[in-house]
Amino acid sequence: AQKVTQAQTEISVVEKEDVTLDCVYETRDTTYYLFWYKQPPSGELVFLIRRNSFDEQNEISGRYSWNFQKSTSSFNFTITASQVVDSAVYFCALSGQGGSEKLVFGKGTKLTVNP
Protein backbone atom coordinates (compact mmCIF):
# COMPACT_ATOMS: atom_id res chain seq x y z
CA ALA A 1 0.00 0.00 0.00
CA GLN A 2 1.09 3.55 -0.59
CA LYS A 3 1.16 6.06 2.21
CA VAL A 4 2.31 9.63 2.78
CA THR A 5 2.94 11.00 6.25
CA GLN A 6 3.24 14.68 7.06
CA ALA A 7 3.89 14.67 10.77
CA GLN A 8 3.70 18.43 11.19
CA THR A 9 0.07 19.48 11.38
CA GLU A 10 0.70 23.19 11.83
CA ILE A 11 3.77 25.39 11.73
CA SER A 12 3.93 29.06 12.60
CA VAL A 13 6.94 31.23 11.76
CA VAL A 14 7.82 34.88 11.58
CA GLU A 15 8.46 36.44 8.20
CA LYS A 16 11.99 35.91 6.84
CA GLU A 17 12.51 32.74 8.83
CA ASP A 18 13.40 29.55 6.97
CA VAL A 19 10.96 26.67 7.37
CA THR A 20 11.12 23.00 6.41
CA LEU A 21 8.05 20.88 5.81
CA ASP A 22 8.61 17.15 6.27
CA CYS A 23 7.23 14.35 4.12
CA VAL A 24 7.81 10.62 4.55
CA TYR A 25 6.38 8.14 2.09
CA GLU A 26 5.85 4.39 1.80
CA THR A 27 5.64 2.45 -1.44
CA ARG A 28 6.75 -0.89 -2.82
CA ASP A 29 6.96 0.46 -6.35
CA THR A 30 10.29 1.00 -8.02
CA THR A 31 8.87 3.70 -10.27
CA TYR A 32 6.95 6.43 -8.53
CA TYR A 33 6.49 10.18 -8.43
CA LEU A 34 6.47 12.58 -5.52
CA PHE A 35 4.77 15.94 -5.46
CA TRP A 36 4.23 19.03 -3.41
CA TYR A 37 1.08 21.11 -3.75
CA LYS A 38 0.10 24.39 -2.13
CA GLN A 39 -3.51 25.03 -1.16
CA PRO A 40 -4.33 28.65 -0.30
CA PRO A 41 -7.58 29.51 1.48
CA SER A 42 -9.35 29.68 -1.89
CA GLY A 43 -9.04 25.90 -2.05
CA GLU A 44 -7.42 25.31 -5.41
CA LEU A 45 -4.42 23.00 -5.41
CA VAL A 46 -1.35 24.69 -6.86
CA PHE A 47 1.30 22.36 -8.23
CA LEU A 48 4.81 23.12 -6.95
CA ILE A 49 7.07 20.25 -7.95
CA ARG A 50 7.20 16.70 -9.25
CA ARG A 51 10.15 14.32 -8.79
CA ASN A 52 10.50 10.80 -10.13
CA SER A 53 12.02 7.98 -8.13
CA PHE A 54 15.11 7.80 -10.31
CA ASP A 55 16.13 11.40 -9.84
CA GLU A 56 17.46 12.15 -6.38
CA GLN A 57 18.95 15.48 -7.27
CA ASN A 58 17.84 18.22 -4.97
CA GLU A 59 16.06 21.09 -6.62
CA ILE A 60 15.94 24.79 -5.97
CA SER A 61 13.41 27.19 -7.40
CA GLY A 62 13.77 30.69 -6.07
CA ARG A 63 13.05 30.55 -2.34
CA TYR A 64 11.85 26.96 -2.56
CA SER A 65 14.04 23.89 -2.35
CA TRP A 66 13.37 20.19 -2.11
CA ASN A 67 15.46 17.40 -0.58
CA PHE A 68 14.67 13.91 -1.87
CA GLN A 69 16.33 11.02 -0.02
CA LYS A 70 15.34 7.50 -1.03
CA SER A 71 17.38 6.01 1.81
CA THR A 72 15.01 7.57 4.33
CA SER A 73 11.92 7.70 2.05
CA SER A 74 11.68 11.42 2.58
CA PHE A 75 10.92 14.36 0.34
CA ASN A 76 11.23 17.51 2.41
CA PHE A 77 10.38 21.03 1.31
CA THR A 78 12.18 24.13 2.52
CA ILE A 79 11.05 27.72 2.12
CA THR A 80 13.86 30.20 2.61
CA ALA A 81 13.12 33.71 3.89
CA SER A 82 9.42 32.99 4.28
CA GLN A 83 6.83 35.60 3.35
CA VAL A 84 3.25 36.16 4.47
CA VAL A 85 2.06 35.03 1.02
CA ASP A 86 3.53 31.60 1.73
CA SER A 87 0.79 31.02 4.31
CA ALA A 88 -1.22 28.04 3.08
CA VAL A 89 -1.69 24.32 3.55
CA TYR A 90 1.00 22.29 1.84
CA PHE A 91 0.44 18.73 0.70
CA CYS A 92 2.94 16.06 -0.20
CA ALA A 93 1.64 13.39 -2.60
CA LEU A 94 2.76 10.13 -4.19
CA SER A 95 1.82 8.14 -7.25
CA GLY A 96 3.15 4.72 -8.17
CA GLN A 97 2.71 1.78 -10.47
CA GLY A 98 0.35 0.07 -8.01
CA GLY A 99 -2.79 2.14 -8.29
CA SER A 100 -1.14 4.26 -10.88
CA GLU A 101 -4.19 6.29 -11.70
CA LYS A 102 -4.35 8.08 -8.40
CA LEU A 103 -2.40 10.49 -6.27
CA VAL A 104 -2.08 9.58 -2.59
CA PHE A 105 -1.89 12.68 -0.42
CA GLY A 106 -0.64 13.31 3.07
CA LYS A 107 -2.85 15.14 5.55
CA GLY A 108 -1.11 18.42 4.90
CA THR A 109 0.85 20.95 6.93
CA LYS A 110 -0.71 24.31 7.62
CA LEU A 111 1.94 27.01 7.43
CA THR A 112 1.28 30.42 8.92
CA VAL A 113 3.82 33.14 8.27
CA ASN A 114 3.35 36.09 10.59
CA PRO A 115 4.53 39.60 9.72
Partner 1 sequence: ETGVTQSPTHLIKTRGQQVTLRCSSQSGHNTVSWYQQALGQGPQFIFQYYREEENGRGNFPPRFSGLQFPNYSSELNVNALELDDSALYLCASSLGPGLAGSLYNEQFFGPGTRLTVL
Which stretches of the chain bind partner 1, using CB under 8 A? 4, 31, 33, 35, 37, 42-45, 47, 50, 52, 91, 93, 95-97, 99-108
Nearest distance in Å: CB 114, partner 1: 21
Q: Are 76 and 20 in contact (CB under 8 A)?
A: yes
DSSP state for residue 7 in the 8-state scheme? -
* Extended beta strands in 59-99, E state: 59-61, 64-69, 74-79, 88-96
Smallest separation, CB 16 to partner 1 (Å) = 28
User: What is the CA angle 65-71-73, rounded to 5?
Assistant: 65
Toward partner 1, which CB reaches closer, 40 or 83? Answer: 40
Q: Which is nearer to partner 1, 12 or 83 (CB)?
A: 12
